[in-house]
Copies of this chain bind each other. A is one copy, B any other.
Amino acid sequence: MQWAKVLGVGVGAAAFLGLGIILGHLAIPKGADPLVSQDLDLEVLNSVMGQLEASRIQENLRELSREPHLASSARDEALVQLLLQRWRDETSGLDAAETTTYEVLLSFPSQEQPNLVTVVDPNGNVFFSCRQREENLTGEQGGPDVVPPYAAYAPPGTPQGRLVYANRGSEEDFKELWTQGIELNGTIALTRYGGVGRGAKAVNAASYGVAGVLVYTDPADINDGQSLPNETFPHSWGLPPSGVERGSYFEYFGDPLTPYLPATHSSFRLDPASASGFPPIPSQPIGFEDAKVLLCNLQGNLAPDTWQGALGCDYRLGPGFRPDGEFQADSQVNMSVYNRLELRNSSNVLGIIRGAVEPDRYVLYGNHRDSWVHGAVDPSSGTAVLLELSRVLGTLLKKGTWRPRRSIVLASWGAEEFGLIGSTEFTEEFFSKLQERTVAYINVDISVFANASLRVQGTPPVQSVVFSSTKQIPAPGRGGLSIYDNWVQHFNRSSSVYGLVPSLGTLGAGSDYAPFLHFLGITSMDIAYTYDRSKTSARIYPTYHTAFDTFDYVDKFVDPGFSCHRAVAQTAGSVLLRLSDSLFLPLNISDYTETLRAFLQAAEQDLGALLGQHSISLGPLVSAVEKFEEAAAALSQRVLALQESSPDPLQVRMLNDQLMLLERTFLNPRAFPEERYYSHVLWVPRTGSVATFPGLANAYSRARDTAPGSAAWAEVQNQLSIVVAALEGATATLRPVTDL
């Protein structure tokens, strides 16, 4: 709605169609179809929406998730061929499809020496062994291609020590144990997933002298407390007791050995021994079935209330086992981890639909292809949608009835699970070209977490095009309610500009959008269907990264009938078409203002007093936000005015360039020298609790307990100047181009 209001485009674009065609006639490159529209064609849009079929997504998913397809495995390579074949199909393919292959450092458990976690007595007698594979409940958990649970990039080693329970393994958690006087040196720490990143648990543990880390998923965090075999998959969507979340424990993203360089064969590589970001100590994930045996036998103080879970016993801190339990009191936990690093080839698959009018403007749409096991939800639910969307667009293309104004690039990324590797290497290889030409990046990784509501994360300018799109698409199972109307019921906020609207989330580094946003400064978004948060508190869908994330799991529990998959395909497809076909880019840059105002208000409220005591004024920031707001509003007015005149192609291009490049102006590769890739001054990870400008917030957190005049307070002033300069630079690019 606000898009239509501000720019008069979106669903109202038909009015410009006639003009578009007249102008377009002059702008069509030789050989292009003269019937190509110069603006979004609602008929084409509706036709695409109608042609997206749930059953075809279902069949795609069945094929994609038929076998485990771990990055660089034979099946992963077979799926590369499947994608190439689809995208080169003569009746439904794209203009071209290619692969780019990188030689990247992955981490695998040893096949000869499986990782093992045991309880042993001082003589080395083994009293208990954790499972080395998940239970074969559906016949799909036992094959040779099911990689056993492991912590990718955790170093090999065989630490042995008394067990402690460390909650989620955060800094605070270990500090709490230390405060309680628990000797951590040489212990094995049992932690549960959540709270902090995987690798961070090992980093925090090691800093207290812990020798090894076990990680499990507590039924309280994933199954709403349910933990019995008959309460869980295959009887429900719950995580079975033997299920183990695999994952990368690497702290950065991209190939670990080639930061900032594409991992070509000849590229310079760091010595793995000196590469950073790997967990410092052996780590291993286990199922809650095994975690229960360990945790429920611990001795020591009762863990704090917030540390308790749903394993059916009191969680104690250790160290070591209680004398009246299943194990001898002097028993220790032994971890035998035999992971190894391997250089492997991993491919991206890229497909292109050449733009008719502005072929040098790219709308990117991607998802990763690699999974931990069968990966039906993660990532194949997204790939299944991608393939269906490419089929429908490819068919229109091959029929000659449509060609987008701008180029569309579809991507299937490799080795995402190990740390967004394929997408990151791609951004490194094509840094300049992508930065100069990319309008936006759309990510659809897991397309359906659950069937309740849409969930979109993105930078503020995408709000408008997502809202326009979702207002036109019916929500599955809601009797004609639009996706937008259903969404606003589940996730909403009160906007000072628009009133009650769906709430867009912000983008961290959870999927392949990260290098596009943080490294290249490209407007990005991530689209999925998700939970009703009033009905579950699961941190993610229960079988995430386990061998139970299979086609039947999706078909029976996540999205029977695949209507939510179709809804995501329609949403992402509509966004894609609007971005690629609209004469004026449907990115409302004015929507950044609300974010900036909120950041500013938080800074004033929560940091202002102490900043003032240190003679640091927020005045320049207030002024910078005001100037940005003014320039953004004026630019939106100029877009409106131009739409009402008869704009020539260059005038439109110039305005669109201002819209496209806004996000780039927030990039400062020197702002955060210790953060690999993170250069976007508004979205670098924030550690503090105040939702404000992150560089400022982080510097403030580090400074707050230091003396006046410290280097840490100087850095606060520096970060304030960095964000002010970024905002003023952004404002300068939004102003009329001939303003001095």
Contact = CB atoms under 8 A, between A and B. Distances in A.
A358 B652 CA distance: 11
Interface residues of A, number: 71
A408 to B, nearest CB: 10
Contact of A721 (B266, B409, B432, B717): B266
Contacts of A724: 266-267
A407 B433 CA distance: 24
A556 interface: no
B260 A670 contact: yes
Contact of A617 (B29, B266, B653): B266
Interface string A216-240: 0000000000000000000000000
Interface stretch (A47-55, A149-157, A347-355): A347-355
Contact of A268 (B357, B657, B714): B714
B738 A350 contact: no
Contacts of A82: none
A646 B639 CA distance: 29
A277 interface: no
Given A262-B725, A359-B654, A738-B352, A648 B437 contact: no
A429 interface: yes
A649 B651 CA distance: 10
A359 B738 contact: yes
A592 interface: no
A429 B721 contact: no
A30 B724 CA distance: 34
Q: Which of A358, A428, A721 has the most CB of B within 10 A?
A: A721
A718 interface: yes
Q: Find the residue from A28, A98, A430, A740 having the highest chain B CB count within 10 A.
A: A740
A334 B729 CA distance: 49
A436 B664 contact: yes
Interface in A623-674: 645, 648-651, 653-654, 657-658, 661, 664-665, 667-670
A728 interface: yes
Interface string A103-132: 000000000000000000000000000000
Contacts of A181: none
Contacts of A29: 648, 651
Contact of A430 (B98, B657, B717, B729): B729
B268 A718 contact: yes
A645 B436 contact: no
Contacts of A722: 261, 268
A29 B407 CA distance: 26
A114 to B, nearest CB: 35
Contact of A358 (B261, B358, B650, B740): B650
Contacts of A26: 26, 648-649
A429 B98 contact: no
A96 interface: yes
A30 B359 CA distance: 26
A432 B664 contact: yes
A360 interface: yes
A707 interface: no
Contacts of A21: none
A273 interface: no
A28 B649 CA distance: 10
A436 B351 CA distance: 27
Nearest to A662: B432
Contacts of A360: 654, 657-658, 737-738
A654 B733 CA distance: 20
Contact of A729 (B355, B433, B658): B433
Interface in A703-740: 714, 717-718, 720-722, 724-725, 728-730, 732-733, 737-738, 740
Given A266-B724, A661-B436, A717-B268, A732 B619 contact: no
B27 A721 contact: no
A673 to B, nearest CB: 8
Nearest to A655: B360
Nearest to A715: B268
Nearest to A23: B26
B657 A354 contact: no
A620 interface: yes
A266 to B, nearest CB: 4
A431 interface: yes
A95 interface: yes
A350 B650 contact: no
Contacts of A649: 26-27, 648-650
Contact of A359 (B436, B617, B737): B737
A670 B98 CA distance: 29
A617 B430 CA distance: 23
22 contacts: A30-B645, A95-B738, A96-B738, A98-B740, A261-B721, A262-B728, A264-B620, A266-B619, A266-B620, A267-B721, A267-B725, A268-B720, A351-B740, A352-B740, A357-B650, A359-B654, A428-B725, A429-B728, A429-B729, A431-B729, A433-B665, A669-B669
Interface of A: 26-30, 95-98, 260-262, 264, 266-268, 271, 350-352, 354-355, 357-360, 407, 409, 428-433, 436-437, 617, 619-620, 645, 648-651, 653-654, 657-658, 661, 664-665, 667-670, 714, 717-718, 720-722, 724-725, 728-730, 732-733, 737-738, 740
